[in-house]
Amino acid sequence: MMDDTFPKMNQGLLYGLRQSLTIVIGYAPVAVTFGILATQFGLTFWEAGLMSFFVFAGASQFIAIEMIHQGATIWMICLTTLILNIRHMLMSLSVVPFFPKRTLSWSLALAQGLTDETFVLNTRVLKDVVGEENRRRVMLGINLGSFASWVVFTILGGVIGKWLPVQFSGFQFALLALFIILTVTSLTKKNAMTYLLAALLAIVFKLLIPGKIYLILSVVMAAGINAWWRGRERELHKLNSKKANYKA
């Protein structure tokens, strides 16, 4: 009889690339929109493409070109991007357990492709992949497919924006919609309460704290409470096991 784990153990780069198609479909209209806006704000399509290649930060790029258009300094743009994307530190920490024997080169390569969408998809897919080497290749495939599509469609949008007078609206919400879809599909009975707690804390902190820091605080607190609760459950399970063994 064939081993059920065989397909999972042989998942690699191509499997990751196929999985990335979910994100590519969502990235395409947003990247094209960014390319069009970038050229309308004075960038060339190659400059827009290079920004997507080196930054690859979705919403931050939209904010950056708006700040460039308004004459903001490079330091102000960098600081704004840092604050907006500091949540990626938490995402990276969540992915680390999948790669206990990671090297610096692999860590840098995988970190470059970590976005809201790839994070959600990777954490959903990697838990079913056997072997760290396979997980590296799968994550690389997911990240590479998403990254390449973002850059290519940005350049395409830049070309369209340069040669055609395009007027559009509504595309700015595509990334948010994609992230919501991926998040909902990753919900399980084990993490549902953490998601709900993070949402409730975000609402409370939004009313009390100005700016965007409430998002980070709500996620950190929800994750911390969840980790504490699971640790408490493990300790209780160990204690009950010892009592059962002692009685036996």
How confident is the model over 199-234, as pLDDT tens digits? 888 888 888 887 667 766 777 787 778 777 777 777
Contact between 48 and 158 (Cβ < 8 Å): yes
User: Hey, where are the domains in the chain?
Assistant: 6-186, 190-248
Q: For residue 182, what pLDDT band results from cuts at 50, 70 and 90?
A: low
- pLDDT above 70 coverage of the chain, percent: 79
> What is residue 153's predicted lDDT score, i.e. its pLDDT?
96
**Statement: residue 1 has pLDDT above 50:** no
Q: What burial class does residue 206 get, using C-beta atoms within 10 Å of its C-beta: 0-12 exposed, 13-18 middle, 19+ buried? A: middle
Mean pLDDT of 5-23: 74
Mean pLDDT of 30-39: 89
Tokens of residue 133, six digits = 């080497």
**Statement: residue 3 has pLDDT above 70:** no
Q: In whole angstroms, give the CA distance from residue 145 to residue 22.
A: 10
Q: In whole angstroms, give the CA distance from residue 105 to residue 12.
A: 18
Contact between 115 and 146 (Cβ < 8 Å): yes
Owner of token pair 């300790």:
235
* pTM as predicted: 0.66
244 or 23: whose pLDDT is higher?
23
38 or 222: whose pLDDT is higher?
38
Residues 99-156 pLDDT 10s:
888 788 888 888 888 888 898 899 888 888 888 888 889 999 999 999 999 999 999 9
Contact between 44 and 158 (Cβ < 8 Å): yes
> What is residue 149's predicted lDDT score, i.e. its pLDDT?
95
Q: In whole angstroms, give the CA distance from residue 115 to residue 87.
A: 10
Flag the least confident range among 15-24, 132-141, 168-177, 227-236: 168-177
> What is residue 6's predicted lDDT score, i.e. its pLDDT?
37
CA dihedral (78, 84, 90, 94) in degrees, to 10, reads -100
Element (H, E) at 132: helix 132-163
Q: How many helices (H) and strands (E) does the chain have?
A: 13, 0
Contact between 149 and 28 (Cβ < 8 Å): yes
83 or 47: whose pLDDT is higher?
47
Question: 192 Cβ partners below 8 Å, 6+ apart?
Answer: none
> What is residue 162's predicted lDDT score, i.e. its pLDDT?
81
> What is residue 195's predicted lDDT score, i.e. its pLDDT?
76
